[in-house]
Structure 1
Amino acid sequence: MSTPLTVTDDLSSDLVEPVLVLAEAARATDGVAPLSEQTLLRVRHGAPAGSSRFHVLAEEGRVVGFAFVERSEDEPDSGEVVVDPERRGRGYGATLLRSIREDAGPNGIRVWAHGRTPAAVATAEAEGWIPARELHKMRMPLRDLGPEVPGGPWTAPELPEPELRPEVAERVRIRPFVVGQDEHAWLTANSRAFADHPEQGSLTLDDLLQREVEDWFDPRGFFVAATENGTIAAYHWTKTHADGAGLSDDETVGEVYVVGVDPDWQGTGLGRALTLAGLRHLRDSGLPWVHLYVDGDNRAAVRLYESLGFSMWDTDVMYAPIAHEG
């Protein structure tokens, strides 16, 4: 293939906007974003040295394909791929998959197919990649929706007032996150809560600060269970999507962005209480829907969300080359 391929750990500034335009074109065509929030932040703000790789395909001065890979010391690298919807079927997806595989670290590479779009799945399977992990998307109405909504009519479940056990209420207080005060305490709680999760657990102060300046960030929807000495026992960070996230064509929707509980506080009911606090906040903000992502093998979390009124919606699949699967 004559289309130039560039592989770099430092995306040049002149490529940032073309990559973002490419990602938006794919989202508009497929109804699902091909690149995660973390990847988009890396594109816009850059990545720490040695942490990432950018693979860019260009044709006649236009970016027609892009792949991003996040390096990992102990796990396979994690990648995402997007191809210009107007130029699919020309082998660009296969070229990018081969490129990230050849450039992978010692633990190999895995790549996400968000929404399991037919083109992405077909390309992965044709190149000999197999499913390695699933990330379920669940959704729940926050108000009663009429039968004109696909799958409807939808009835919003009751969301009871969050209640803490007396022995827990004596030790923590649920309140909104305070910008400029809670960052380091949150990073500690997050790293402990997600010590076995290579993506969420490795977030840095820069990662948090980048999110704090995003248009969607609202500390009023970021709930923490704080102790008297300022440590954070658990938290629920909500997010809003002005584009409807595939759930609405004309309204902002909510997301259970991340719920974390410090290991020392697991089993205290804080996770459920904080989840309810965030859901009630999104409901009281007038949003029609809320959605979330949960690992396919995390049955306890799936049961919790189902008990609150969530139902399965879609699934993202992570693919791995057969040679690296083990």
Structure 2
Amino acid sequence: MQLTWRNGLDKAEVAEVMALLGAAEQADGVAPAGEHVILRLRAHRDVAQQIEPVQADVRSEHFVVRDAADALLGYAHLDVGGEPGEPLVAELAVHPEHRRRGVGARLVEALLERADLAQAPEDDTGRLRVWSHGEHPGALRLAARFGFARPRELWRMGVRLADAELPEVSLPESVTIRAFRPGADEAEVVRVNHRAFQWHPEQGAMSEADLREKEGEDWFDAAGFLLAVDSRDRLLGFHWTKVHPGGEGEVYVVGVDPDTQGNGLGKSLTVAGLRYLRQLGCSWVLLYVEGDNAPAVKVYQRLGFERTDVDVQFGR
């Protein structure tokens, strides 16, 4: 078993990693890596534009474990694009046919060694965070072995739309809801998103380039990207819905400008998006919410959502 650190992957390696992630998802019933990792793996620049024939991304580092026959056993992605002093964030996966053989432990050891080289955060949250999607038993064993705490939980909640009693959409005076306009609304969405999610380690950092990248995804639907605007067409909040390939809907992002909070706009946008997803024929809708965000959890519970699973971020 050999581990190597890479600052980029070539096309063949990306294909191998994607196959490993797919095998892990099929075995576990949940994707082992988040959307942003997949987007970075897919964003492969032309080799002629690079100094080296690899996928160069200064925000990503890659840890690859292979056996003597060069078969890929495990993979870890390390996000190093955060602000100075913030913990490094990793996601990892071990091929289902090669588990309980020390591959995961070797990856965690390498991640900790890499985190030791980075500047330690000023607070006591640790220098490394590692996601476990679905609170996998193997991740729990590794966390216990290496003494990781669990400073963050991301709940997955879901509702069967056929059983949900959705209220009417009630908007504040002079507020209307319209669809997102590609090429025109990006700057305003990023502005409101930043204000709404300044506290959020991932969502708050979304740039116009990130937004345009997602507009190129097969699932993107401008009609399901609902914007609440005032009489001057100034953006107050938005509900970005998503439909997965199997027909499952998602409350992808709901963001409201802090200056307009307290008037029920967030709930109204959520209901409008759920009604849109039901019109498309989605029978089940999921969402992700921070486990300690009690006000948001309460709103979703009142709309019929129940917790179905949890993603855990372990830290040390």
RMSD: 1.6
CA contact (8 A) 1:256 1:291 kept: yes
Is 2:71 the partner of 1:62? yes
Map of 1:32 onto structure 2: 30
* 1:30-179 mapped onto 2 (5 Å cutoff): 30-45=28-43, 49-59=57-67, 60-71=69-80, 72-73=82-83, 74-104=85-115, 105-106=118-119, 107=121, 108-143=127-162, 156-166=163-173, 170=174, 172-179=175-182
Q: Aligned residue for 2:244?
A: 241
Looking at structure 1, the residues matched to 27 and 64 of structure 2 have their Cα atoms a distance apart, in angstroms, of 20
Distance 1:293 1:48 in 2: 30
Choose from 250, 261, 265 the match for 1:270: 265
Instruction: Report the more deviating stretch, 8-17 or 191-200.
Output: 8-17
- Contact map agreement 2:187 2:208 (CA 8 A) in 1: yes
Cα deviations by residue, 1:29-69 (Å, 9 ceiling, x for unpaired): 00011001111111111688532222122232332211112
Letter in 2 for 1:160: P
- Letter of the 1:92 partner, please give it: V
**Do 1:137 and 1:294's aligned partners in 2 also have CA atoms closer than 8 Å?**
yes
**Offset of residue 14 of structure 1:** 2.3
Counterpart for residue 152 of structure 1: none
Mapped to 2, the partners of 1:269 and 1:290 lie a distance apart of 21
2:222 is equivalent to residue 214 of structure 1? no
Match for residue 19 of structure 1 among 14, 17, 20: 17
1:8–1:227 distance in 2 versus 1, CA, 3 Å: farther
TM-score by length of 2: 0.89
Aligned-pair identity in percent equals: 44
- Could you list the runs of 4 or more consecutive aligned residues of structure 1 that deviate by over 4 angstroms after TM superposition? 46-49
Question: Which sits farther off after the overlay, 58-67 or 297-306?
Answer: 58-67
Q: 2:187 is matched with which residue?
A: 184
Cα distance, 1:229 vs structure 2 = 4.7
- The yes-or-no answer on 1:198 pairing with 2:197 is no
Secondary structure of the 2:171 match is: coil
Q: Which moved more, 1:131-140 or 1:228-237?
A: 228-237
Alpha-carbon distance, 1:230 to partner: 4.6
Structure 2: gaps of 5 or more residues:
45-54, 122-126
Change (3 A) 1:48 1:132: farther
- Structure 2 CA distance for partners of 1:51 and 1:230, relative to 1, 3 Å: farther
Q: 1:246-287, CA deviations, whole angstroms, 9 ceiling, x for partnerless residues?
A: xxxxxx211111111111111121111100011011111111
Q: CA deviation at 1:228?
A: 4.8
Report deviation, 1:136. 0.9
Q: 2:56 & 2:240 partners in 1: Cα distance? A: 24
Summarize the alignment of residues 281-296 of structure 1 with structure 2, pairs less than 5 Å apart.
281-296=276-291
Contact 2:60–2:79 at 8 Å: present in 1 too? yes
Aligned-partner residue type, residue 131 of structure 1: R
Give the secondary-structure state (helix, strand or coil) at the position aligned to 2:263.
Answer: coil
Secondary structure, aligned partner of 2:131: strand
Q: Would you say how many aligned residue pairs link Structure 1 and Structure 2?
A: 295
Partner of 2:6: 8
